[in-house]
Every structure is written in C-alpha cells, then in structure tokens.
Homo-oligomer: A and B are copies of this chain.
Amino acid sequence: MNKVILFNKRPVGKPTLDDFKFVEEEQPEVADGQVLLKTLYVSVDPYLRGRMTEAKSYIPPFELNKPLQSAVVAEVVESRLEGFKLGDFVTGNLDWKEFQVSNGSGLNKVDGDAASLSAYLGILGMTGLTAYFGLTEIAHPKSGETVVISGAAGAVGSVAGQIAKILGCRVIGLAGSEEKIHLLKSKFGFDEGINYKKTADMKHAIAEAAPNGVDIYFDNVGGAVSDAVLANINKFGRVPLCGSISNYNDTEVDLGPRIQSTLVKNSVLMQGFIVSNYSTKFKDGMAQLSKWLQEGKLEYAETVVDGFDQIPQAFIDLFEGKNNGKMVVKI
C-alpha cells in the first residue's frame, strides 16, 4: 500500500497534527506517457501555511481531503515516458505520497553527482534562488554596504547573508537562539548576529551592530523585528520582502507602527516577491549558485528529519524555529 498525507482541516492559528490525515491507497499504475516516482526528500516550507488558508494569494489554496504538496526530490522507478529512465532523479511540486505517477509536466531532472540530492530543495532550489534573486534583482548590494537579514539561520536567510558577503557587504544576521547566532558567525561568515529573543531593545542593538545604518534589509519574518530594523534604515535603503513567518499563524490583525513615513523620509524601496517572479532567470541563478558552491564560497545547513510520517511535525516545527537552514524530510 502507498502512504498519502491529506489536508484534513484548515488550521486556526498554529497548525497542529490534526490538520493532517494519513491514509493508504493502492499502489498507482503507470500508463503510457507516465513515470512512477518514488519520493526521496520532501521540502517543508513556511509559505505552505498560506496555502492552508482560503485567502487569495499567489498560489491557490490547498483543497481539503486532497494530498498536500511541496517541492520533492524523487527517483524514477518505472518509466513509460520518453526522456525519463529508471534511476533518474527529478524535482517537482509533488504530492505528499510515497509513490506517485506523473506525465512529466513540471519535473526537472537533477544531477545527484553534482550535489547532494537534498540540496535541490534548498541551496540549489527555491530557497537558494529566493535569496539570490532577492539580492541581485531587488537589493542590488554594493561593496561596503550594510545588510541586515532576519530569519538569518533559515534556508533563505543563511544563503542571502553569504551572497551579501561574497558581494563585499557587512552582514548582520537576526535569529532566535544562541546556537543559531553561533552558526551564523562560525559557518556562514556573518559579521554580527543578534538573538532577538534575548535582546530587549532591538532598535538599539541594530544601531550598535550597524554604526553606518542599514542599507539593505532582507526580510524573512516581518513583525516587531522588522519595525526595529526599519528604524535604522538609511537613505535609499532597499528591503526585499520574501516572507513574514512571524505572522503566518496570526488569528488577529498584526498591528505595528505604520512604516510609510519612514519609507518616504529615506526614499526606501520595499518589494514583496516570490521566487517564481524570476523563473525566466532560474537557469542563470542555479548556475551561479552551483559555481559558488563548488568554489567553496557557499555553505549550507540542513535539518533532515527521517521518515514519511514525520512530514507534518517537521512542518509545524518551522514555526518554532527548530530548523537550522533548510528543513527537509528524508523518506
């Protein structure tokens, strides 16, 4: 039998295990023009929380009693589709199933020798590309500028900080544990790290860490942390916004100081984005990230959880910040 995870009910506030349902179905049959895929790695990502609500967003909401989906690395275990052969590795936005068939649409073959397979869900996948395009297409870092990154130990933030370093910036990371702050400096080469959970006056702490002010704020979290960073933003500052995990689970309106007058006073650019806005440039982005990775200029961290049954819990743990770098589930 084939294990499947269905969307059981829409979470109110923080997701719980009740929102997911495990079922078993018959092993799928492969027709002509199809491949059978065996799931190897499943990506869990904060943005999936958005698909669990009914609200209009950049991708349609998940449907109840249907399988959940995310980025997956799979192996071709049977092929009746030209261009795919047994043992090929592919990525795609796939169902949370142990096995599934596909007509090949949306699948990309990946090279298991060039990098570890799970890297294609992280540094060579959506999260690495999110960091890359947020910086290169929106923030345009100049050597010597000061860059602050929230969610800095996460899958996007840790790569964004390293790219900013490669481009000659001073980089300050914000994260929520001493272990993460240590990782930022020891593994990812950040200049400074601030533990927002242990810092009473974040505005002041950022001012101290960024004596020349903040030129770029790569924002993964939103909320009060962002208020404190924006209070230190420089003239012509740039703020790529790629997530706001701090309020994905909010059930009430998230109130804070209105930021418009800060943006006017300092001629600040703020740009919300999702990585697929830059899909025509994915190939270039992946080539650059692969090159840096091979040159040893980029490090990446993964939190790998074992077992298909652990996918929902791994997802829930994202909102507790239990991951260092990319959270993936190995099947």
Q: Which residues of A pack against B, CB within 8 Å?
A: 50, 56-58, 219, 222-223, 226, 235, 241-244, 247-248, 253-274, 277
Contacts and interface: CB of A to CB of B under 8 A. Distances in A.
A244 B219 contact: no
Copies of this protein chain in the complex: 2
A242 B261 CA distance: 9
Contact of A241 (B56, B247, B263, B274): B263
Contacts of A268: 271-272
B267 A274 contact: yes
Given A58-B235, A247-B258, A254-B258, A272 B263 contact: yes
Given A255-B255, A258-B255, A244 B272 contact: no
Contacts of A243: 264
25 contacts: A50-B265, A57-B265, A222-B258, A222-B260, A241-B260, A241-B263, A242-B264, A243-B264, A244-B261, A244-B264, A253-B257, A254-B258, A254-B261, A255-B256, A255-B258, A262-B272, A263-B270, A263-B271, A263-B272, A267-B272, A267-B274, A267-B277, A269-B269, A269-B271, A269-B272
Given A253-B257, A260-B222, A267 B235 contact: no
B241 A58 contact: no
A144 to B, nearest CB: 21
Contact of A219 (B222, B242, B260, B269): B260
Contact of A223 (B242, B255, B258, B269): B258
B58 A266 contact: yes
A230 to B, nearest CB: 10
Contacts of A272: 260, 262-269
